[in-house]
Amino acid sequence: MGVRHAPARLLALVLALVCLCAACSTAGQRVAADTTEQQVRQVLDRRAAAVLHRDRGAYLAAIDPRATALRAAQRAEFASLAAVPLRSWQYQVVSVARTGNTATVRARLRYRVSGYDRAPVSTPRFLQLDRRAGRWYVALDRPGDGGARQLWQQGRVEAVKGARSLVLGVGQDRARLRMIAAAADRAVPAVDAAWPGAWERRVVVYVPASLNAMAELLGRPAAAYRDIAAVTTGETGGAGAAPADRIIVNPDAFGTLSDFGQQVVLTHEATHVATRSATSAATPTWLSEGFADWSAYRGTSRTAGDLAPELGAALRRDGPPDALPADGDFAFGSDPAALASAYEESWLACELIARKWGPKKLDAFYREVGAHHGREGAVAGALHDVLSLTPDAFTRLWRAYLTERLG
């Protein structure tokens, strides 16, 4: 009996050993992966500390000695960062995948400018680290999916600090940067009067060398911004601390504007910075852009005809539009006249609320829309709760107001 059952017992023993070996192998792989990730984090932590401590030697020590092009680029980038007053700089590792002596890393670079950012800028990075003689070195560092180049990767940064602004430029005359800082300083109190409440009351402005450089910072084709003087980056929030915003100037288009036009642009963009935490996916573009224009035009002596020429011409030709502008009407790269009309229609919608019900009601309306749980019903609910109107009634009032102001 014992002899007949020996093969079965032997087979069971073999299977048990196989399972044990497989388990050990899996555990070993997991330990190796954990060790690799830990070592990668340490390399990136040392690199981040070198940036904050302005330690060029330690920064370059993390770069693969054989990656000569990367070392040259990183040397120039480190020098460019010298003008940026950084409060924090860190790499948040998302994933690490190792193949032999190569590790591919997806991470988020998170940094804050001292004195200006309440929350960090966050941008995705894709890195490759190679292991040589028992050490990991950075061999590749580029924008991750959805990311873009940073200003200091475009050349040496020049910094001008205003009373309420920090202007960082590449390839720009310092006198021009001072002029932009002065206009940004004037924009902040103008925005504060239109939007009382909690915001930083300071702005950071980037002035790249060209339209193409601006588009590179935004990760989009240059044609999309050809006629746009400036944009504000940042994700819409609605709760908690808003991500840090940057006003990015298109030096080509901005330079063609009058002093008045440049001031309007910077006040408009600073308004986006101020209203960021109250702006959400529920906020239609006509409201966010119209409010920013209303904020920028307040207190000016310009007439509605001066400020809304495209809409005035369209009204004389076709009469008032049937509905407020849709989000798609604000697409960058669209017909310039149609885009201008969309902005002008939105400005007058916000001006109507401010004139008929008062600026405080306009602020309350904006906040109520942004606080809604989604786009559907957001405007209708705020019109009912704040202004005691239906959407149809507001549209009728707005159409009549356009004719009154521009007819």
Please write the tens of the pLDDT for every residue from 348-397: 999 999 999 999 999 999 999 999 999 999 999 999 999 999 999 999 99
Instruction: Give the chain's length.
Output: 407
Residue labelled with tokens 């690490």: 96
What percent of the chain has a predicted confidence (pLDDT) above 70?
90
pTM for the model stands at 0.87
DSSP 140: E
| pLDDT score for 179 | 98
The pLDDT value given to residue 18 = 45
> Which pLDDT belongs to residue 407?
81
Count other C-beta atoms under 10 Å from residue 193's C-beta: 12
pLDDT value, residue 4: 44
Task: Sort strands 165-170 and 203-207 into parallel, antiparallel or unpaired.
Answer: parallel
- Look at residue 335 in the predicted model and tell me its pLDDT: 86
- Residue 9 is predicted with a pLDDT of 59
Tokens of 68: 């000569």
Q: Quick check: helix, strand or coil at residue 139?
A: strand
Domains and CATH numbers, the chain: 32-147 (3.10.450.50), 149-275 (3.30.2010.30), 280-407 (1.10.390)
The residues, ordered by sequence, that sit 6+ positions from 103 with a Cβ below 8 Å of its Cβ are 36, 40, 96, 97, 128, 129, 130, 131, 136
Low-confidence ranges of the chain (pLDDT < 50): 1-6, 13-27, 236-242
Q: How far apart are CA 76 and CA 324, in angstroms?
A: 48
Distance CA 318, CA 106 (A): 53
